[in-house]
Amino acid sequence: QVQLQESGPGLVKPSQTLSLTCTVSGGSISSGSYYWSWIRQPAGKGLEWIGRIYPSGSTNYNPSLQSRVTISVDTSKNQLSLKLSSVTAADTAVYFCARGLVGSTWRGDAFDIWGQGTMVTVSS
């Protein structure tokens, strides 16, 4: 059974770079059937998609974050990573990694497995 676990600093200073890792266990991050995403949720607010990476290495990002975001994969460690630069208090949120799939018999996407999330606070 595939499981995801986020990790990284819980506190980041303004203007610095937020770096998180998501470790995939029980399956290969290189599986061609899935892609991998980061999603965040400020306290008391809704979900915001940050971006995704396909097994090929190609990426898509939320236009509102694109200039600051990098998502990458380390297949040797079975890990997904997120880097978000020039952070401000507005980036304070719970960050989730999730496994995504593209419908085969239907047009759309679904996140079928999520990590538990990790809280990141941006503060000096």
Q: Point out which residues bind other proteins (CB under 8 A).
A: 37, 39, 46-49, 52, 60-63, 96, 100, 103, 105-112, 114-117
Question: Which residue, chain included where needed, has tokens 């960050």?
Answer: 95
Residue 63: how many CA atoms within 13 Å on its side-chain side?
0
Q: For residues 8 and 16, which CB has a smaller minimum distance to other proteins in the complex?
A: 8
Q: How far is the CB of 124 from other proteins (least distance, A)?
A: 27
**Residue 19 or 117: which CB sits closer to other proteins?**
117
How buried is 118 (Cβ within 10 angstroms: 0-12 exposed, 13-18 middle, 19+ buried)?
Answer: buried
**Nearest distance from residue 14's CB to other proteins, in Å?**
25
- Looking at residue 33, the DSSP 8-state letter turns out to be T
Q: How far is the CB of 66 from other proteins (least distance, A)?
A: 9
2 token code pair: 């595939």
Which residue, 34 or 61, has its beta carbon nearer to other proteins? 61
From the centroid of its chain, how far is CA 43?
A: 17
CB of 48 to other proteins, least distance (A): 7
For residue 62, with 0-12 CB atoms within 10 Å meaning exposed, 13-18 middle and 19 or more buried, which class applies?
middle
Identity of the residue, 2 or 109, whose beta carbon is nearer to other proteins in the bound complex: 109
